[in-house]
A = this chain, B = another copy of it.
Amino acid sequence: MKTLLYIGALALWLTSCGSKKSDALVIAEQGSFAVGGVVLTDSLGRKFHGDHAYVFYQKPVEARPLPIVMAHGVGQFSKTWETTPDGRDGFQNIFLRKGYSTYLVDQPRRGDAGRSTDTVTIAPTFDEEEWFNRFRLGVWPDYFEGVQFKQSSAALEQLFRQMTPNVGRKDLDVYAEAYAALFDSIGPAVFMTHSQGGAVGWQTLPKTDNIRAIVAIEPGGNVPFPVGQLPKEGRMETLTKSNTEGVEVQMDVFMKFTRIPIIIYYGDNLPTTDERPEQYEWTRRLHLMRKWAELVNYMGGDVTVVHLPEEGIYGNTHFIMSDLNNADIANHIAHWLHNKKLD
C-alpha cells in the first residue's frame, strides 16, 4: 500500500512535474515597473513625470545569481528579445530556460516608456526597404544567400511591425541615466545590448557599479577612447548623423572598461567596400571595435570580438539574437559567461 503510494507519487512527479521541466518555464516571479526619469514642473506648479524606462522582468526558480538586462537598438523596443519574427523563442525565453532572470527594457521615449519630456512630431516614414538593407537581410528585395532569416512575407511583416518611433529626440544620456537607475535598483547584472543599445551600454557603465559584464551584439556609436587616442574610424559620423562612432573620455572613465569582461558579436555579409554605406557601416564598426578591444586589453581589460563567419557561423543578420541559429548563438554566449564565472 505504502509502496503503491510512493509509486503513484513518483509517477505524478514524472508526468505532471518532471515533463514540464523540459518544456515549461517555471517562473518564481514576474512583473513590471518604471525606473529612472525626471519630474518637470510648469509655471502653475503642476507636475509631469517622464523620461523613465519601462521594465518587464521574469525570474525563473533557482535563478542564476546574475540577471541579464536586455537593451534594444534604434527604432526597436523590448520585442527585439521576445518571439522572433518567424515565431520561435527569442533570447528572453532562451535565457530564462538557461536559468537567467531577464529584464527587458523599453528605453525612455520609446514604446511603453513613451511619456517623454521632449516635444516631437511623428509621421509615417517609408523606410522599410532601407531597414531591410541596414539589417543585412539582403539587398532589397533580394535576400542574401544562406541568410539566417526565414524568407517569408509573414516573418518580414512581423519584423517591420516590431519597429516603433522615438517619442522625443535621441539622447543617449537620457537613456543611460534610466539604465543606470535600473542597475542601481536591481544590483549586479549582465548587460546585453544591441546596435544603438551598444552605445547606450558604453555610456551606462561609468554611471553605475552594478554592470558585471557586457554582451554587445553588433554595437554602433559612441565607443569610448581616451582623450587624444580616438582613431580615424571613431571620428566619423554615423550614417544617421546623430552622433560619432567614437567619443573621447577621461582616462579614469576609459579604465572602467578594463575592469569587466566584454564580448562583442558581429554577423555575416559585411561588405569589403562602401558601395552600400548602410551595410558597410557595420564593417567599419567591426574594425573600430577591434581597435578598441586591442587598446582596452593592452590596458589590462578582457574584451573579445567575435566575427561569426571566422568561427564558421554564417548568414547572420544584424539581429543575431533572433536569427534562425539564435539558439547556437545563445549557447556561445552562455559558454562565454561560464568561462568568465558569471553563471
Interface residues in chain A, defined as those with a beta carbon under 8 Å from any beta carbon in chain B: 2-3, 6-7, 9-10, 12-13, 17-18, 20, 23-28, 30-34, 37, 40, 42, 44, 46-50, 52, 54, 56, 61, 77-79, 82-83, 87, 89, 93, 106, 111-129, 157-158, 160-165, 167-168
Question: What is the CA–CA distance of A164 and B82 in the complex, to the nearest angstrom?
Answer: 21
Chain A binding site: helix, strand, loop or mixed by DSSP?
A: mixed
Please indicate the chain B residues that have their CB under 8 angstroms from the CB of A23 in the complex. 28
Closest to A57 in B: B83
Interface pair A77/B26, CB less than 8 Å apart: no
Question: How many subunits of this chain does the assembly comprise?
Answer: 2
Contact of A20 among B26, B118, B123 (CB under 8 A): B26
Question: What is the CA–CA distance of A252 and B119 in the complex, to the nearest angstrom?
Answer: 45
Once A10-B10, A24-B61 are accepted as A-B contacts, the answer to whether A47 and B3 lie under 8 Å apart by CB is no
Question: What is the CA–CA distance of A48 and B122 in the complex, to the nearest angstrom?
Answer: 14
Please indicate the chain B residues that have their CB under 8 angstroms from the CB of A83 in the complex. 31-33
Once A79-B32, A167-B167 are accepted as A-B contacts, the answer to whether A48 and B111 lie under 8 Å apart by CB is no
Interface pair B167/A126, CB less than 8 Å apart: no
Please indicate the chain B residues that have their CB under 8 angstroms from the CB of A87 in the complex. 31, 33
Complex A-B: 27 CB contacts under 8 Å: A3-B6, A6-B7, A6-B10, A9-B10, A25-B26, A25-B27, A26-B26, A31-B82, A31-B83, A34-B157, A48-B126, A49-B157, A49-B161, A112-B112, A113-B164, A114-B165, A114-B167, A115-B163, A116-B124, A119-B123, A120-B122, A121-B121, A121-B122, A122-B122, A122-B167, A165-B167, A167-B167
